[in-house]
Amino acid sequence: MACAYFSSFTSIDKNGRYFLSAHIPLSFTTRNRGKDMVIQPLTLRDMTLYYKHKKVPQSSVQKLFQAVMGDKHSILDEPVFDDVPHLTDWLPELEAIRHSLQNLNRKQYFVNQNEVVAKNVVEKFSAAGDGIYFRRAGPTEKVYFKPDEVNACIVTCGGLCPGVNTIIREIVYALWNQFGVESVFGMEGGYPGFYARNTIQLNLRVVDDIHKRGGTILGTSYGDHHTFKIVNSIQDRRINQVYIVGGRSTHKEAHMIYEEVRRRGLKVSIAGIPKSVDNDIDIIDRSLGFDTAVEEAQRAISAAHVEAESVHNGIGLVKLMGRHSGHIAMYATLASRDVDCCLIPEASFYLEGQGGLYEYIERCLHENKHIVIVVAEALFADPTYMIRAVPSNASDNIYCTLLAQSAVNGAMAGYSGFVVGPVNGQHAYIPAMRITENPKRISIIDRMWARLLSSTNQPDFRQVKKLKNERFKASKEIELMYIYY
């Protein structure tokens, strides 16, 4: 297959069109080996995959293809299977063994290796079927680890999130009860636990009721990631399955661990379970703990509403988490029906003047004698973090079970460098780097934001600002015409 070598692309924004995409993920083009940077070959399939993920206009990228690869090459107008790595990619002599469920005549539980999950379910009819597909998660007929040879560890990193303890419990239960794996332990304090040599032995008795507690029994930390030290520890301890629970930054570092494991030719599966109370993990339907966070946030909104309507001209201000996106604020607002105004990072607004926030607050106080405002964290200092420290609710507990079992099935099947999550309602194995490229943010031109505006009856500050800008430009033109004449 023809290929070209790139380290990056230059963005050319001319007349509103993209001639080249602005950024190519490092996993496609380079690998970091200490201080050395190795340029990797970027195949036609890689470029097609990137174009489809980023939704760059095909006509714009086509010119690049033909200029670099020749007139005979074009973007692949066909389905693209964005598969996850497998241990046999660097250990080709590895032999598969029968899954234990086969002995119980439960073949109906296995997923077919040809089954995939579509990234998008709503497409144009003219281009139906030529999108991106991920490998479907679930138990497979063949596995690549014998129960007595598995030495598994679990590590939790980043901020707290409802359901992390449930994930730990369900991973242990899946390994013990489904596969007969008894060598499972947890790394204390996040990634530094690998080289601090602090571990907790995990068995069914230890994790039995931890799902009733908030936080994580393993502890957590931010940053302090040293890939070589971690992989050295994995190698010294003879760990061959690593389950990593964390957010976007954690999985970017997990991908680095996978890369080093692969470079050393180790039989080690790196399985990721994405968590983010903010629900800002790209591709997957929702993040671990998000349902619980929305439920807790709704209680805070209800309390603020009672307080606000109990006094004359009462204002209830609720600050919710959301560093990069306002998913919790938006969904809690839709769930409560008591909110008059929701402010999120994705939707710009202004305070003073006609059509501004102050004017809207005054109108609400005049008409309703109270107002409830929900503000996402990125727009307000000193946020309250209580919603991330509570135990997970029933919905998130079920979700944790599905995530944990899918991760264990993926690791036992020999996959590595992946995360698991629901895509359009079906659990799938996704290359870890896919979820780290961009945070999932709310589209304010989407229907869900329109539903919120309908629920709160707040003005679309974006449209008001646009109208003011048009009026300002018109007034300047009149002023110039007056000066000219």
Check residues 124 and 26 and name the one with the higher pLDDT. 124
- Return the pLDDT at 39: 40
- Measured CA to CA, the distance from residue 380 to residue 375 in angstroms comes to 7
Mean pLDDT comparison of 14-23, 150-159, 442-451, 474-483, highest-scoring range: 150-159
Looking at the predicted structure, is the pLDDT value of residue 167 above 90?
yes
DSSP 8-state assignment for residue 460: -
Across all residues in the chain, what is the average pLDDT? 79
> Which bin fits 279, alpha (ψ -120 to 50), beta or left (φ > 0)?
left
Q: Does domain 87-284+392-436 have CATH number 3.40.50.450?
A: yes
- Whether the full predicted model's pTM is greater than 0.85, yes or no, is no
| Runs of H (alpha helix) within 30-150 | 44-54, 58-69
- Measured CA to CA, the distance from residue 255 to residue 249 in angstroms comes to 10
Residues of the chain with CATH 3.40.50.450: 87-284+392-436
Q: What is the pLDDT of residues 242-263, one digit of tens each?
A: 999 998 889 999 999 999 999 9
Residues of the chain with CATH 3.40.50.460: 290-387+443-472
Judged by DSSP in three states, 426 sits in strand
- Return the pLDDT at 345: 86
Give the H/E segment covering residue 401.
helix 394-412
Looking at the predicted structure, is the pLDDT value of residue 120 above 90?
no
Percent of the chain at pLDDT above 70? 73
- Measured CA to CA, the distance from residue 296 to residue 227 in angstroms comes to 37
Choice among 46, 82, 278, 280 that is catalytic: 278
Rounded mean pLDDT of 397-412?
A: 94
- Return the pLDDT at 457: 87
Give the C-alpha distances (Å, rounded to integers) separating 282 from 274, 431, 435.
10, 12, 5
Q: What is the pLDDT of residues 405-416, one digit of tens each?
A: 999 999 999 999
Check residues 42 and 362 and name the one with the higher pLDDT. 362
For 290-387+443-472, which CATH class?
alpha beta
Cβ proximity of 438 and 247 under 8 Å: no
Percent of the chain at pLDDT above 90? 41
N-term to C-term CA, the chain: 66
**Residue labelled with tokens 């999985």:** 251
Rounded mean pLDDT of 397-408?
A: 93
Judged by DSSP in three states, 179 sits in helix
Cβ proximity of 404 and 167 under 8 Å: yes
DSSP string, 319-357: EE--SS--HHHHHHHHHHS--SEEE-TTS---SSSTTSH
Check residues 47 and 377 and name the one with the higher pLDDT. 377
- Measured CA to CA, the distance from residue 353 to residue 455 in angstroms comes to 24
Looking at the predicted structure, is the pLDDT value of residue 177 above 90?
yes
Q: Which two tokens stand for residue 282?
A: 């790209």
- Return the pLDDT at 251: 92
Looking at the predicted structure, is the pLDDT value of residue 470 above 60?
no
Query: Is there a catalytic annotation at residue 83?
Result: no
